[in-house]
Copies of this chain bind each other. A is one copy, B any other.
Amino acid sequence: MWLRTSSREERGGPPLSRRRIVDEAVALLDAEGADRLTMRRLAERLGTGSTTLYWHVKTKDDVLDLALDAIFAAVPIPEDQEWRAGVTRLIGDWRATLLRHPWSAALLGRPMLGPNVLARSDFLYAALVGAGVTEPHLTAAAFGLSNFVIGSALMQATWLVNADAETRDAARDHMAQQSDRYPALAAHGPLTATDGWDESFERGLNWLLDGIEATVATG
C-alpha cells in the first residue's frame, strides 16, 4: 500500500482535468516554444502518462486550440470608455498578449472560435457600432483592426522567437552583404530591430482609427 505509486502527492497535485492540461500546455509553450510541445512531455510535466491526456482531450490540435484561446483571458474587455479609447486599449492588450506568448504567432493560422476570442471580437463589433460605424465600413473596420494586430504581432513574434544572436547576426550580414541589391532597404530598414515597433504599431493603428472615424462623420 505505501509502495503504491499512484498517490496523489507523487502525481501532479489535483486530479487531471482539461483545465490543468491547458494551463500546463501554456506554461510549456511559454518555456520551450511551439515545436517542443509534445504530448509525452506535457504528460510528464503533469505527472501522468501520455495516453491519459487523450481521455480529456481528443487530439493534440485541441490542446493547441484551447491554449491559444486561453491566453486571451488576460485581455481585459474595456468598459465605460469612449469608443476610440476602448478599441485602442483592446487592440493594444491583444497585441501585448500575443507578444507575451510568442508561440501563439505560429498558431494564428487556425480558426479562432474559442469563447475568449469571440467575447473580445464581440466587444470590438459593439464598440464600432456604438461609435456609429455602419456597413460596409463596419466589416472593413473590424477586419482591418483584427488583421492589423495579427499581422503586426506575427511579424514581431517571428523575430522574438528566432532571437538567438546567431540568426540575427546572420540576417544582418546577409542584408549588409547585398546592400547594393536592396538599396532602399539597406538605407532604412533595420528589419531585425524590434525597437521602434511599438511606436510604429501605434501610428498605424491611429491611421486606421482616423479612417474609421472619418466614415462616421461623412456617413
* A interface with B by C-beta (< 8 Å): 105-106, 108-111, 113, 115, 118-119, 121-123, 125-126, 129, 135-144, 146-152, 154-155, 157-159, 161-162, 167, 171, 174-175, 178, 181-185, 187-189, 196-197, 199-201, 203-204, 206-208, 210-212
Contact = CB atoms under 8 A, between A and B. Distances in A.
Contacts of A154: 108-109, 147, 150-151, 154
**Chain A interface secondary structure, helix, strand, loop or mixed?**
helix
A64 to B, nearest CB: 12
Query: How many copies of the chain does the oligomer comprise?
Result: 2
Contacts of A161: 109
Given A137-B203, A142-B189, A210-B211, A171 B113 contact: yes
B208 A121 contact: no
21 contacts: A118-B178, A118-B181, A122-B181, A122-B184, A126-B183, A126-B184, A136-B199, A139-B196, A141-B204, A143-B197, A143-B204, A144-B204, A144-B207, A147-B148, A148-B148, A150-B150, A150-B151, A204-B208, A207-B207, A207-B210, A211-B211
A208 B199 CA distance: 15
A110 B167 CA distance: 12
B146 A188 contact: no
A111 B159 contact: yes
A182 B119 contact: yes
